Amino acid sequence: MQSRDQVSETPSNLPGGVLLDQLYVTPPQDINTFLFSPDSGFPKSLAEVHGTTELEVGPWKLDNSSESVKRVVTYVKAATKLIKACKATEDQVYLKADGKVFAVLASVSTPDVPYGRTFRTELLYCITPGPELPSGEQSSRLVISWRMNFLQSTMMKGMIENGARQGLKDSFDQFATLLSQNFKPVDSKDLGSNKDQVLASLQAEPQSDWKLAVQYFGNFTVVSTVFIGLYMLVHIWLATPSTIQGLEFVGLDLPDSIGEFIVCGVLVLQGERVLGLISRFMQARAQKGSDHGVKAQGDGWLLTVALIEGSNIAAVDSSGFSDPYVVFTCNGKTRTSSIKFQKMRSHMEW
């Protein structure tokens, strides 16, 4: 089964939060088939666990207007302490399916519940390839996020969202349990070697003393001091010796004007700064096991921080898309990480 998709990038998590984020020892195609193929028995098994009745799963159909594949699932949700049994209609649409990455958006409507006509619950299922396991087996990552899409404004918005959040959490805890009975979840210990490889790739490459010296001393302070020093040497070579006057004596030549006094002060300050740089560089070179005081430009250590994994990162953009980042702060200095999304042309296949 194949279809053209509407988006080329993997959709970002919905802003309501992440309900499930788990790695499984199986290719992404297998999870997609197990969850969404027409002959899958998973929806029926899940309905039995949830106490759902009158389940009807419609066939996948191509929507010519949007060029996407859709299907409709209807069922009667079991009664809870707050609401009675009610009918739900779930519209499922493939946002992306290229054989490796699958994204399905489900929009659930429950008009019979209180204020049910003012909102729809949206769920995003994203199935992507996971990291390569030490055993050589393929893995896949399933992330399910949600949001409440309000069709009309209502004063009960906060109460509706809080009630839906707890209900969805309980529901997808059961979902994860049932899914783990069919696919083996990846143990975090199995990913240890992958993380070690990532950290190993961050080790600093060895640099020669000359290359490091050029990088360290290649700044405005050093360059300007060298230029002024050379300029003064050329001046001394071209100028004729001046007569001894004022408080001068043989071997002591004092400034003869305010301008000469200012130039002498600048040279002294620049020289002091350069001597300080040279001193720190020599001390750092004596400590062969680290970059202490060199790249840090002072007393301290150069630390490389690697962000291996993050979860439950909600979107802050009103459009529902997120560009998550992490800010590392040390000694008043900040560094911001970023995530770049890859683009790829998509099609769907089972």
Q: In this predicted structure, what is the pLDDT of residue 338?
A: 53
Distance CA 218, CA 229 (A): 16
What does 34-93 look like in DSSP terms, one character per residue?
Answer: HHHSTT-SHHHHHHHHHT-EEEEEPPPEEETTTTEEEEEEEEEEPP-SSS--EEEEEEEE
Q: How confident is the model at residue 145 (pLDDT cuts 50, 70, 90)?
A: very high
Q: In this predicted structure, what is the pLDDT of residue 169?
A: 92
User: Which is more confidently placed, 119 or 296?
Assistant: 119
User: What are the tens digits of pLDDT across the range 292-336?
Assistant: 444 445 455 556 666 666 665 555 554 444 455 666 666 666 666
- What does the chain come to in residues? 350
pLDDT tops 60 at residue 4: no
Q: How confident is the model at residue 3 (pLDDT cuts 50, 70, 90)?
A: very low
Distance CA 339, CA 326 (A): 10
Look up residue 191 and give its two tokens.
């990913």
Distance of CA 200 to the CA centre of its chain: 20
Q: In this predicted structure, what is the pLDDT of residue 312?
A: 57
Extents of the domains making up the chain: 17-192, 203-239+253-299
Q: Long-range CB contacts (< 8 A, 24+ apart) of 86-92?
A: 86/110, 86/112, 86/113, 86/116, 87/54, 87/111, 87/112, 92/36
Reference 7, options 87, 75, 66; nearest CA is 66
Look up residue 178 and give its two tokens.
């049932």
Q: In this predicted structure, what is the pLDDT of residue 294?
A: 45
pLDDT tops 50 at residue 79: yes
Range of lowest pLDDT (53-57, 109-113, 123-127, 293-297)? 293-297
User: What are the tens digits of pLDDT across the range 193-242?
Assistant: 555 666 666 555 666 777 877 887 888 888 888 888 888 888 878 877 77
Q: In this predicted structure, what is the pLDDT of residue 216?
A: 77
Using a pLDDT cut of 70, give the percent of the chain over it: 73
Question: Buried b / exposed e across 102-129, counting CB within 10 Å, b at 16+?
Answer: bbbbbebbbeebebbebbbbbbbbbbbe
Q: Is 96 exposed, middle or buried (0-12, 13-18, 19+ CB in 10 A)?
A: buried
User: What are the tens digits of pLDDT across the range 155-195?
Assistant: 888 888 888 898 899 999 999 999 999 999 987 666 655 55
User: What are the tens digits of pLDDT across the range 244-276?
Assistant: 777 777 777 777 788 888 888 888 888 888 888
Assign 3-class secondary structure to 83-144: CCCEEEEEEEEEEEECCCCEEEEEEEECCCCCCHHHEEEEEEEEEEECCCCCCCCCCEEEEE
Q: Would the pTM of this model clear 0.85, i.e. be above it? A: no
What value does the mean pLDDT of the chain take? Answer: 79
Q: Is 140 exposed, middle or buried (0-12, 13-18, 19+ CB in 10 A)?
A: buried
Q: In this predicted structure, what is the pLDDT of residue 261?
A: 84
The DSSP code for 9 is S
Dihedral, 180, 181, 182, 185 alpha carbons, nearest 10: 30
Q: In this predicted structure, what is the pLDDT of residue 137?
A: 86
| CATH class of the domain at 17-192 | alpha beta
User: What are the tens digits of pLDDT across the range 25-71?
Assistant: 999 999 999 999 999 999 999 999 999 999 999 999 988 877 789 99
Q: In this predicted structure, what is the pLDDT of residue 205?
A: 60
